[in-house]
Structure 1
Amino acid sequence: MDSIAPNWKKLSAERQKAYKRLLETAPKNKLLKLIPDLHEQAFEKINCLDCAACCKNYSPRFKTTDIKRLSKLLGMKESQFIEQYLRLDQDGDYVTKSSPCPFLGSDNACSVYEDRPSDCARFPYTDEDVLFKRIPLTLKNSSFCPAVFFVLENLYLKLK
């Protein structure tokens, strides 16, 4: 991650207003053209297994299909899976009861990776329009995910 910028968290915090303004005002078609390449570049520099901040501090939403798939994988009834691992958040979504994620190993690898929730598979959303459709989420993600920071910082530098 140091190959991005050793002080990326500080820089991200300082640029939150600029990133917000960029995401609110930049032409969406231009953003959509730039983000696939920036996403690829980010993951050429960043190995999620070095960080796992998302799994250590936040929970994805577990949709019904995720719960069905994971409970089957683990040989549990859906109700048992929910009782053991999940709770309802303020938005009425199922999220993990605890942090870090109960499926995160000591090596930062996910024990249910092939069957992980769709939110996990899509995270950090840097290759899709969620980046500018859910600006508060993007800004929050940029504070702990170096890939989101990398994409936003490079959009900022290209479009300022």
Structure 2
Amino acid sequence: MNELLENWEEKAQEKQKQNKQYLQKLQSKRGRGVEKLLPDLHEEAFSNIDCLQCANCCKTISPRFKPPDIKRIAKYLGMKEAAVIDQYLLMDKEGDYVTKSSPCPFLDSDNYCSIYPARPGDCENYPYTDSYHFFKRPNITYLNSTICPAVYFVLEKLKKELPL
């Protein structure tokens, strides 16, 4: 395992304030070329991290289930859309469908997703370490750095490459 990732959860908690400030500064400076660095940092992170060993995202947070996601999942499961909603989802205060419980009801005991081919778009794109969302949403990114080792890894590498 990469040295940067040793005790990453503890380090991420300790650096929350610092990371939030860094991301806010980065956002205010219009990314400072971050978008060009993200694909390589993303690849490096995932060459060191196996999501199936972690699955913190599936265990702790819920994606948003948009209507096309629900339709796709219902078809994949051979269920009606209303049945998927009734059995697995609820509407949050922002008006988005999210899972009724954590961990995600589609997460199997081996950390595989039972609906992987039909998973929600939020799951497919998470943890956003290779897209502009990484610095466009600083509050979400710094929170994700305490959930996902890849986000923590990319953020720490970025702070070394682009000190502010």
2:98 aligned counterpart, secondary structure: strand
Q: How does 1:5-154 map to 2 (within 5 A)?
A: 5-26=5-26, 27=29, 28-154=31-157
Query: Deviation of residue 22 (structure 1)?
Result: 2.3
Query: Deviation of residue 5 (structure 1)?
Result: 2.7
Amino acid in structure 1 at the alignment position of 2:111 = N
CA contact (8 A) 1:4 1:45 kept: no
* Matched positions, count: 160
For residues 37 and 76 of structure 1, what CA distance do their matches in structure 2 show? 40
For residues 24 and 139 of structure 2, what CA distance do their matches in structure 1 show? 11
Return the TM-score normalized by structure 2.
0.92
Amino acid in structure 2 at the alignment position of 1:73 = Y
Amino acid in structure 1 at the alignment position of 2:104 = C
**RMSD (CA atoms):** 1.4
What stretches of structure 1 of length at least 5 have no aligned partner?
none
Return the TM-score normalized by structure 1.
0.94
Query: Deviation of residue 15 (structure 1)?
Result: 2.0
Percent same amino acid at aligned positions?
55
Say whether 1:158 aligns with 2:157.
Answer: no
CA contact (8 A) 1:67 1:78 kept: yes
Amino acid in structure 1 at the alignment position of 2:17 = K
